[in-house]
Amino acid sequence: VFILTHNFDCMTQVKNWLSHIRKSAGKLQRDFYMINNKDIDNKRLAYLTSLDKLLLDYESEYHYLFSLLRNFKDNGELETIYNFPNIGRKFLETFLAFKVPSNENIHNKMSHIEYDDAEKTAILRFVETHSHADRSDGVLNFDMSLGNGGQKAILSLLTLIEQVDVTHYTTLMPA
């Protein structure tokens, strides 16, 4: 049976249905593929490849972002944490969209969340300050303070999610 779709929700549903198929002789009796495209000599060529690992392993981008935050380990190098303010911001904005469904900005939405104010400020500083190019001279420089408190801000963000909605947090955790 081949099921083809352009609809992400349909693909996720089919993937979930097929995940219950048992192994036979130690091998799963199903595979997932996707069609990719390449431009070669100004010609678009389509080819079949295995389903991208992110699409196979995660229910959504939100689940993926959570796993990145949960598994983050600071090794003291700027490169290790460099993308995490953006990851944290995208994750927090998505969480807040469901918890505080309004057109308020991220700061105002956070004011509705019951959590330590100093911790909320640290989280917002991490996801706001380090994810925007707010430089008057237009030059982007590495912010050497990014690593200071980054691990703590990520842990605080995850703790906020857990304390505000333990059921939500628990369902995000891998089985």
**69 membership: H or E segment, kind and range:** helix 61-70
Paired tokens of 60: 């959504």
Paired tokens of 144: 């050497």
**Could you give the CA distance from residue 86 to residue 126 in angstroms, rounded to a whole number?**
9
Please work out, in degrees rounded to the nearest 5, the angle formed at the alpha carbon of residue 126 by the alpha carbons of 63 and 79.
Answer: 75
**Could you give the CA distance from residue 173 to residue 139 in angstroms, rounded to a whole number?**
39
Would you call 86 helix, strand, or coil by DSSP? helix
**Could you give the CA distance from residue 89 to residue 65 in angstroms, rounded to a whole number?**
10
Q: What is the per-residue pLDDT for 24?
A: 65
**Could you give the CA distance from residue 34 to residue 50 in angstroms, rounded to a whole number?**
6
Contact predicate 157/92, CB 8 Å: yes
**Could you give the CA distance from residue 151 to residue 92 in angstroms, rounded to a whole number?**
16
Q: What is the per-residue pLDDT for 138?
A: 56
State the maximum Cα–Cα separation within the chain, in Å, rounded to a whole number: 64
Along the 175 residues of the chain, how does pLDDT read in single tens digits? 788 888 888 888 888 888 777 766 667 778 888 888 889 899 999 999 998 888 888 888 999 999 999 999 888 788 888 899 999 999 999 999 999 999 999 999 999 999 999 999 999 999 987 776 665 555 666 766 677 778 899 999 999 999 999 999 999 987 6
Full-model pTM: 0.79
Q: What is the per-residue pLDDT for 25?
A: 65
